[in-house]
């Protein structure tokens, strides 16, 4: 065999990749790129099934890049900065969408909305609160969630609490009873900070009302206001009474949910996605877990339901507009997709044609709670601009760790929030 000299080897090793580079990688013109945060315990398998249905129905291949829920918040903005957003991606309705709409990263979907006649398909309440920004529609609501008090009925029954509380006094009585039986009344898994926000949301909404809360979220009110102090004082009273399981900041939301399952805690204030987690772990709705509305605190204050709306948005630099439009329309109008998705994920459908009686008893209660509410509001970190949300989420975690420092914590948060609003 002829010996290969160094020169030949060198040129040969450079030639091979050079030849490869000479053929540019043409993107498949029928392909659609998608990214989303429905990963892990948040419905990865279910979402992949819905994507397969789309491909089967339309022949459009999907290049899918799921990203962990927490990392997604950073990842999508980095991709926006690098102008490398996927054609379609999931996003949380509210302040986060407003943030990226203001940066020019999204493609409006007014035409798609009109063509698909979505006014007659999407719930008016959800459409009004979640889809329009700066006068145009940008977000397609894929599903929404309700934040309620999910509890273990067996633990309640064993403690002697036969029914879910309907008034605040009843709620406090149940907490006292559970504690006396050696069960932590409430579990919170605030390791990633966000689960704690629901307590602040409801306590503020139930005392100061939605109008004041909206002002706080927009910066028109301050964290040093007496309304905020009152809500935090109420929260402190629950913590001081020992109604929260210890080490909340060391547990994830799934750890808190597991505590409720195991009977170490009785209830957790969480979104309906927890039912998806519990269903996947073989629990039975109604038997192993149930839900009630956190009772009102003050008469005359509107009843507000809190929860996030998961949406799908189109990137401004979308390469496959036709495919993206088809995808968005398919994901909200296809009843099979909507039914199986919301069932698998523990969500509520924004499609009014989906009959709620299809769903389990717990999800029907959640849907009824939203329908009965005077208003629907996004939870804290979706209702206020992301830099301010960072301040608030840290404030809640700090407060849970050291409730006695509430005044100093509030004072610090007030200053930081004011600075964050200015930027």
Q: Residue numbers of the site for another protein (CB under 8 A)?
A: 6, 10, 74, 77-78, 80-81, 100, 102-105, 191, 246-247, 249-251, 386-387, 390, 394, 397-398, 401, 420, 423
CB closer to another protein, 339 vs 394? 394
Residues in the chain: 423
The least distance separating another protein from the CB of residue 403, rounded to whole angstroms, comes to: 14
As a 3-state breakdown, the chain gives helix, strand, coil percent values, each rounded to 5, of 55, 15, 30
CB closer to another protein, 55 vs 103? 103
| CB environment 117-149: b (16+ within 10 A), e (fewer) | ebeebbbebbbebbbbbeeebbbbbbbbbbbbb
Residue 222: how many other CB atoms lie within 10 Å: 17
The least distance separating another protein from the CB of residue 22, rounded to whole angstroms, comes to: 18
Both tokens of residue 408?
């100093």
Both tokens of residue 173?
């009585």
The least distance separating another protein from the CB of residue 77, rounded to whole angstroms, comes to: 5
Q: How far apart are CA 32 and CA 163, in angstroms?
A: 49
Q: Residue 243: phi, psi to the nearest 5? A: -85, -10
Q: Identify the CA nearest to 47 among candidates 378, 312, 356, 313.
A: 312
Both tokens of residue 183?
């069960």
The least distance separating another protein from the CB of residue 81, rounded to whole angstroms, comes to: 4
The least distance separating another protein from the CB of residue 161, rounded to whole angstroms, comes to: 24
CB closer to another protein, 32 vs 409? 409
The least distance separating another protein from the CB of residue 250, rounded to whole angstroms, comes to: 4
What DSSP string describes 360-384? -HHHHHHHHHHHHSSEEE--HHHHS
What DSSP string describes 177-235? HHHHTT-EEE----TTSGGGHHHHHHHHHHHTHHHHHHHHHHTSS-TTSHHHHHHHHHH
Which residues make Cβ contacts (< 8 Å) with residue 167, sequence separation at least 6? 295, 296
CB closer to another protein, 19 vs 78? 78
- Pairing mode, strands 62-66 and 32-36: parallel
The least distance separating another protein from the CB of residue 409, rounded to whole angstroms, comes to: 9
CB closer to another protein, 2 vs 246? 246
Q: How far apart are CA 57 and CA 335, in angstroms?
A: 13
Q: What angle separates helix 197-207 from helix 386-401, to the nearest 10 degrees?
A: 100
CB closer to another protein, 73 vs 213? 73
Find residue 313's DSSP bridge partners: 89, 139
CB closer to another protein, 180 vs 419? 419
CB closer to another protein, 113 vs 244? 244
- Pairing mode, strands 265-271 and 184-186: parallel
The least distance separating another protein from the CB of residue 321, rounded to whole angstroms, comes to: 22
The least distance separating another protein from the CB of residue 117, rounded to whole angstroms, comes to: 34
CB closer to another protein, 17 vs 300? 17
């Amino acid at each position: 065999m002829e010996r290969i000299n160094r020169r030949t080897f060198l040129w040969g090793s450079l030639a091979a990749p050079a030849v490869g580079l000479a053929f540019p990688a043409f993107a498949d013109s029928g392909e659609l790129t998608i990214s989303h945060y429905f990963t892990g315990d948040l419905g990865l398998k279910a979402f992949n099934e819905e994507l397969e249905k789309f491909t089967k129905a339309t022949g459009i291949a999907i290049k899918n890049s799921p990203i962990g829920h927490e990392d997604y918040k950073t990842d999508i903005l980095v991709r926006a900065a690098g102008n490398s957003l996927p054609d379609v991606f999931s996003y949380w309705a509210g302040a986060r969408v407003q943030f990226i709409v203001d940066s020019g990263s999204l493609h409006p979907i007014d035409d798609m909305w009109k063509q698909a006649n979505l006014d007659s398909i999407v719930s008016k309440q959800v459409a009004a609160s979640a889809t329009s920004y700066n006068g145009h529609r940008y977000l397609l609501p894929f599903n929404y969630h309700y934040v309620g008090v999910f509890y273990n009925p067996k633990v309640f029954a064993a403690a002697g609490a036969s029914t879910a509380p309907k008034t605040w006094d009843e709620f406090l009585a149940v907490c006292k009873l559970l504690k006396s039986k050696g069960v932590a009344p409430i579990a919170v898994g605030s390791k990633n900070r966000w689960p704690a926000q629901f307590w602040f949301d409801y306590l503020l909404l139930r005392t100061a009302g939605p109008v004041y809360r909206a002002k706080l979220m927009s910066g028109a009110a301050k964290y040093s206001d007496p309304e905020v102090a009152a809500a935090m004082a109420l929260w402190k009273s629950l913590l001081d009474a020992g109604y929260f399981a210890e080490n909340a900041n060391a547990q994830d939301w799934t750890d808190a949910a597991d505590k409720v399952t195991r009977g170490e805690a009785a209830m957790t204030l969480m979104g309906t996605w927890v039912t998806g987690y519990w269903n996947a772990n073989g629990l039975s709705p109604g038997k192993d877990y149930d839900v009630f509305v956190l009772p009102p605190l003050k008469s005359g204050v509107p009843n507000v339901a809190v929860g996030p709306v998961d949406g799908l948005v189109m990137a401004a630099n979308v390469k496959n507009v036709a495919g993206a439009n088809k995808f968005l329309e398919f994901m909200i109008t296809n009843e099979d997709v909507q039914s199986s998705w919301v069932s698998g994920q523990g969500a509520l459908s924004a499609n009014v044609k989906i009959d709620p009686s299809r769903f389990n008893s717990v999800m029907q209660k959640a849907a009824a709670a939203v329908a009965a509410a005077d208003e629907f509001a996004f939870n804290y970190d979706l209702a206020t601009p992301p830099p301010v949300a960072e301040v608030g989420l840290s404030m809640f975690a700090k407060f849970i760790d050291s409730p006695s420092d509430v005044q100093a914590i509030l004072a610090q948060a007030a200053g930081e929030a004011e600075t964050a609003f200015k930027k």
